[in-house]
Amino acid sequence: MEKLRRLFRGRIVLPDGVIEEGHVLCVGDRIASVGTGRGSAEADEIVEWAEGYVAPGYVDIHVHGGSGADFMDGSESALTTVCQAHLRHGTTSLLATTCVAWKEQILTVLRLCQDYKNCPEKTGLRLLGVHFYGPYFAAEARGCHPAKPLRPPLADAYADYLAFADIIVTASVAPELPGAEDFARACVQRGIRLNIGHSQATAEQVAAAIRWGARHVDHLFCAMSDKTKLRRLQPWPMRGGVLEAALLYDELTTEVIADGVHLSADLLLLAWKCKGIHRLALVTDCNRALDMPDGKYVFGPLDGGEPFFVQGGVALTTDGQGLASSVRGMDWMVRTFQRLTGRPVWEVIRMATLTPAQIIGHAYDLGSLEAGKLADIVLLDDKLHLQQVYVGGKLAWSAAATALRPPTR
């Protein structure tokens, strides 16, 4: 069968700028060429996108749920519900992110994701693998994760998880926990990328983790070393924690939750200034309440997860004192980061596409509009609202064709 040739014309978003009048030619599921001008008219279909932007599909390396479902529910229907929810917000590739839970619950999700890896025909988008996230977190920095299943990494327990090394893309650990070094080295040995997260480590402990192979820090500013506590343990000299180390060390990439609730504009700009667009990714860290009404929900598995509630687009722990991850998709994060920081559109989109793809080792195939890469494309209006999503060259979602239009703001 002849492969469909589809030509997009309009303002093309590249990782280092915008082509004001350009084109992207896709043949089958791949991008064949990108350039200035209108391109050859010898295409089966021409999409004239006069207003707005033609951009790469978003890549989310930290996402828990959406549309009422959480990956930790552990069922096929929950998994596809979450994927389809995020597709409607422009995400074309993601890592299913687990949470602090009991071993059997985590193993169920790992098994399930094996069957759904890279099957856009089943999930709508590309599930690239798993972000193994918890139970190896520091109790004081657990955030909205349940407390009971927290534990230090012990070799006989994590061996069962690491048996799924082919599906685990990244794994997070608090480096101050006993056994963290062995866990870290075991991950790196199996080709799993190591993140530092939910940790009260000192900057020295983070430096040690870099030597073990850690290369990324989860949600900068959130659930990390608290100055008062570090000072109580050692009054002087004042020491840095995970935050300072993440900003200092070039070996570390990091991510921000730019929903406008977690971080103020100055913190987003601080992260951008210190890490730059090559080392800073946008993530959603979205829970199951995406596109759901205000009310009570559970973070993680319905059986044993942590209750939270949503009020006016903010997810809070039951005492109302802490944030319980976000309820927004990547389209919202892109718009909010751009609005709060005033950075150019191409920079912000790069942080939601090529940079996260590079962080997880998928930039060879994903994350930018480049000849040879997969034709995962979003069409945005001039306010960065999502209009259409293409996965592998096929139209996967269209704002015009659905009543489930994402909230516009």
Residue in 70, 73, 218, 285 annotated catalytic: 285
Q: Percent helix, strand and coil across the chain, each rounded to 5?
A: 30, 30, 40
The CA-atom distances, in angstroms, between 131 and each of 188, 290, 304, 347 are 14, 19, 20, 25
Q: In whole angstroms, what is the distance from residue 259 CA to residue 333 CA?
A: 5
Phi, psi of 187 (to 5 degrees): -65, -50
Residue 224: φ, ψ to 5°: -140, 165
| Torsion angle, alpha carbons of 65, 67, 73, 78, to 10 | -110
User: SS3 for 20?
Assistant: strand
The CA distance from 395 to 400, in Å, is 12
**Residue 102 Cα distances to 7, 145, 205, angstroms:** 48, 12, 27
Asked whether 214 and 171 are in contact (CB, 8 A), the reply is: no
Q: Using DSSP, state whether 109 is helix, strand or coil.
A: helix
Buried b (16+ CB within 10 A) or exposed e, 39-68: beeebeebbebeebbbbbbbbbbbbbbbbb
CB-count burial class (<10 Å; 0-12, 13-18, 19+) for 2:
exposed
Alpha-carbon distance 384 to 407, whole Å? 13
Cα 99 to the center of its chain, rounded Å? 14
Is residue 285 among the annotated active site residues?
A: yes
If you ran DSSP here, which 8-state letter would residue 351 be given?
H
Q: Which residues does the annotation mark as catalytic?
A: 285
